[in-house]
Chain A
Amino acid sequence: MAKTKVLERKPLTFAEKTFIPQIASGLATTFSNIFKKSVTLQYPEERPVIPENYRGIPTLVKDPKGRVKCVSCQLCEFVCPPKAIRIKPSEIDSDENPDRAHIEKEPSAFDINMLRCIYCGLCQEVCPEEAIFLQDEFSLSGYSREEMVYGKDKLLELGGTLPDSHYKWDKKKEAEDQPFAHH
């Protein structure tokens, strides 16, 4: 067992007992603070600098070719701790989008209830398609609960387009089109 050493606390000197030097030094501290620059941000006009990797609200992103990346695998829906995400998967119409037919699914509805969302970022972490990101938006408001459930269009609009270095499904399609495809 470690030895504890009891430190003797020095008795207060007479000056300390009167509090007066302490009060004076406190007053000096606060007075010098008056002339320092204020740290206030005039919020609605001035916005704080949002660092990278900030976890704002979750948003859906498109790839640089303007395609929705989500394939409605519903992993985010399952992992979401407060169950804020609701996805309705549907098939991609192979007649309308012949070049995307091999992806098979896309969400026809993708709702995130922003009142439930806890900004944990597990959806972003779990997403195999890099389709959902917590971005820099942090101040939400609405007049009703219904309004605070953000639908697919709104989420895509908030998400915008992020660069994509993989083009995973394009590669898959190329591989499929090759003879002796392994996929």
Chain B
Amino acid sequence: MDYLSLLMPVVYALLMISVFMTLCAYTVLAERKVCSYIQGRVGPNRARIPIIGHIPIIGNILTRLGLFHPAADGLKFLFKEEITPGHVRLSYYYLAPIVALVPALTTMAVLPFGRYFDANGVVQPLILANVDIGILFILAVSSLGVYGIVLAGWASNSKYPFLGAVRSTAQMISYELAMGLSILPVFLWSAAPGSDYGLSLFGVVQSQQNLWLILWQPGSALIFLVALFAETNRLPFDMAESETDLVGGFHTEYGAFKFGMFFIAEYAHIIMGSAIFVILFLGGWHFLPGIADPWPSGILGIMMSTVWFLFKVFAMIFFFIWMRWSMPRFRYDQVMHLGWKILLPLAIANFIFYIFVISIFDKLTL
């Protein structure tokens, strides 16, 4: 019995990692498919796995949707020749992809993705580690991801990766501030006097049972979203890679599986970012604002809450991809201008505004 309680968290963690990695792979596919649809193309539609791909009608549909491509992509990265350029700083060069990937995968430990009722009928989150500093943990760990980029840029010992890394660092630091300030009003609201959730993400979701935060804190949501795009290095803030001016950005000197790890890390960040946005502003697994959750009790309700949460996350991922294929990249100085001169003051103003609103609200209701 004691062994079981030790073993189960490990099993859960492995399960979550495998699901998460699959999601990453299929996010890559979604990116390729959505961009091709936006550009009037058909996208990847050739890879076919022998037996499943040859089932008469279904096989053709699956192939045309490109559903076998993630496997082909992954295997391609595995079987490519591992090239290490002669001019790199070896240990850091090998360390960088790991440093990039680990924070992206670590943050999911505190991510609640559904809810269940325990024996006493109390709502509990489906989560690996139910800590009450969830958002702090995520902010702290996810920004460690930039170390992977910096290490890669520096260890590559070559100018374009270095420029990409430097830009990315500056961008991360600039937007971290606005990001942190923009979610303070969220926690001012969710950790209301009398609640015992503190900074946990579960508490934020529970506080949105009737009203999604995006509806009454649209300012915070907008600032957070822009900062999120910057933190995940997505277009229009694609400073770390900016293929047009930096060749391939920080991973120019990487190939084969090491590049694959950067690639997975990038998409892991997108999924985590989407999930956090859904939790903070889009009501998590709650059905629709103002409508009570229609989930039945029992195992079905648990699954439906998770599926609804995942649906919202996929919608956010689609938004990320959609944005990327609609927007040009900002110039570097414009990124800095937007970060320091616009978003940061806006975030502070937003914070002060909601301090007043929430304190007046509390005065009136208590």
**Pair A39/B327 contact, Cβ less than 8 Å:** no
A4 within 8 Å of B (CB atoms): no
A29 CA / B38 CA spacing, docked (Å):
9
Q: What is the total number of residues of chain B having a CB less than 8 Å from a CB of chain A? A: 13
A37 to B325, CA, bound (A): 18
- Expressed in whole angstroms, the minimum distance between the Cβ of B366 and any Cβ of chain A is 36
| Tally of contacts, chain A with chain B, CB under 8 A | 34
- Give A155 Cβ to nearest chain B Cβ, in Å: 34
A34/B37 in contact, CB under 8 A: yes
In whole Å, how far is B209's beta carbon from the nearest beta carbon of chain A?
A: 29
Known contacts A23-B327, A26-B327; A36/B322 CB under 8 A: no
Nearest A residue to B323, CB-CB: A27
- Are B40 and A27 in touch, CB under 8 angstroms? no
A38 and B327 alpha carbons, distance in the complex (Å): 21
Cβ < 8 Å to A, chain B residues 142-186: none
Q: Is A97 an interface residue (CB 8 A)?
A: no
Interface residue A14 (Cβ < 8 Å from any Cβ of B): no
Bitwise interface map of A from 105 to 135 toward B, beta carbon under 8 Å scored 1, else 0:
0000000000000000000000000000000
Is there contact, CB below 8 Å, between A30 and B41? no
Taking a contact as CB atoms under 8 Å apart, the answer to whether B326 and A26 are in contact is: yes
Check A33–B39 contact: CB distance below 8 A.
yes
> Is A36's CB under 8 angstroms from B326's CB?
no
Q: B358 near A: Cβ within 8 Å? A: no
User: Are the C-beta atoms of A27 and B34 separated by less than 8 Å?
Assistant: no
Docked complex: B7-62 residues within 8 A CB-CB of A:
34, 36-42
Task: Note all chain B residues with C-beta closer than 8 A to A143.
Answer: none
**Contact residues in A for B38 (Cβ distance below 8 Å):** 30-31, 33-34
Contact, CB under 8 Å: B322 / A40: no
- The 8 A CB mask of B300-330 against A (1 = contact, 0 = none) is 0000000000000000000000110111000
Instruction: Give CA–CA (A23, B38) in the complex, Å.
Output: 15
Q: Evaluate contact between B41 and A40: CB separation under 8 angstroms.
A: yes
Tell me the smallest distance from the CB of B345 to a CB of chain A, in Å.
14
Cα distance A2–B186 in the bound complex, in angstroms: 62
Q: Is the CB of B326 within 8 A of A23?
A: yes
Return chain B residues, CB-CB under 8 Å to A40: 40-42
Name A's interface SS: helix
Binary interface profile of A, 32-48, with partner B (CB < 8 Å = 1, else 0)?
A: 01101111101000000
Given A27-B322, A30-B322, residue A36 in contact with residue B40 (CB < 8 A) = yes
Which residues in A have their C-beta under 8 angstroms from that of B42? Answer: 38, 40, 42
- Interface mask (B322-345 → A, CB under 8 Å = 1, otherwise 0): 110111000000000000000000
Q: Are A34 and B34 within 8 A (Cβ)?
A: yes
Can you name the residue of chain B whose Cβ is closest to the Cβ of A28?
A: B326
Please name all residues of chain B whose beta carbon is closer than 8 Å to the beta carbon of A37 when the two chains form the complex. Answer: 40
Chain A residues within 8 Å of B323, by CB: 27
Contacting B at CB under 8 A, from A30-80, are 30-31, 33-34, 36-40, 42
Residue of A nearest to B330 (CB): A19
**From A29, A39, A40, A42, residue with most partner B Cβ within 10 Å:** A40
Chain A residues with CB under 8 A of B322: 27, 30-31
Which residue of B34, B40, B325, B326 is within 8 Å of A39 (Cβ)? B40
Given A26-B327, A30-B325: A39 touches B37 (CB 8 Å cut-off): no
B350 CB to nearest A CB, Å? 14
Chain A's nearest CB lies how many Å from the CB of B171?
18
- Within the complex, the shortest CB–CB distance from A45 to chain B, in Å, comes to 11
**CB proximity of B219 to chain A, nearest CB, Å:** 12
| Cβ-defined contact, A27 with B326, below 8 A | yes
Complex Cα distance, B40 from A30, in Å, reads 10
- Docked-complex contact B326 and A29, CB < 8 angstroms: yes
Q: Tell me, in angstroms, the Cα distance from A39 to B69 when the chains sit together.
A: 21
Cα-based distance from A109 to B325 in the complex (angstroms) = 54
Interface centre among B34, B37, B41 (most CB of A within 10 A): B37
Complex Cα distance, B42 from A26, in Å, reads 21
Q: Which residues of B (211-252) have their CB < 8 Å from a CB of A?
A: none
Q: How far, in whole Å, are A30 and B326 apart by their CA atoms in the complex? A: 6
Closest to A23 in B: B327
Choose from A27, A29, A39 the contact partner of B41 (Cβ within 8 Å). Answer: A39
Docked-complex contact B326 and A38, CB < 8 angstroms: no
Task: Enumerate chain A residues within 8 angstroms of B34, measured Cβ to Cβ.
Answer: 34
B-side contacts of A30, CB under 8 Å: 38, 322, 325-326
The contact sample of 26 A-B pairs, CB cut-off 8 A, is A23-B327, A27-B322, A27-B323, A29-B326, A30-B325, A30-B326, A31-B38, A31-B322, A33-B37, A33-B38, A33-B39, A33-B40, A34-B34, A34-B37, A34-B38, A36-B40, A37-B40, A38-B36, A38-B40, A38-B41, A39-B40, A39-B41, A40-B40, A40-B41, A40-B42, A42-B42
Closest 4 A-B residue pairs measured CB to CB? A30-B326, A34-B37, A26-B326, A40-B42
A27-B323, A40-B41, A42-B42 known; 19 new pairs, CB 8 Å cut-off, are: A23-B326, A27-B322, A27-B326, A30-B38, A30-B322, A30-B325, A30-B326, A31-B38, A31-B322, A33-B38, A33-B39, A33-B40, A34-B37, A34-B38, A36-B40, A38-B36, A38-B40, A38-B42, A40-B42
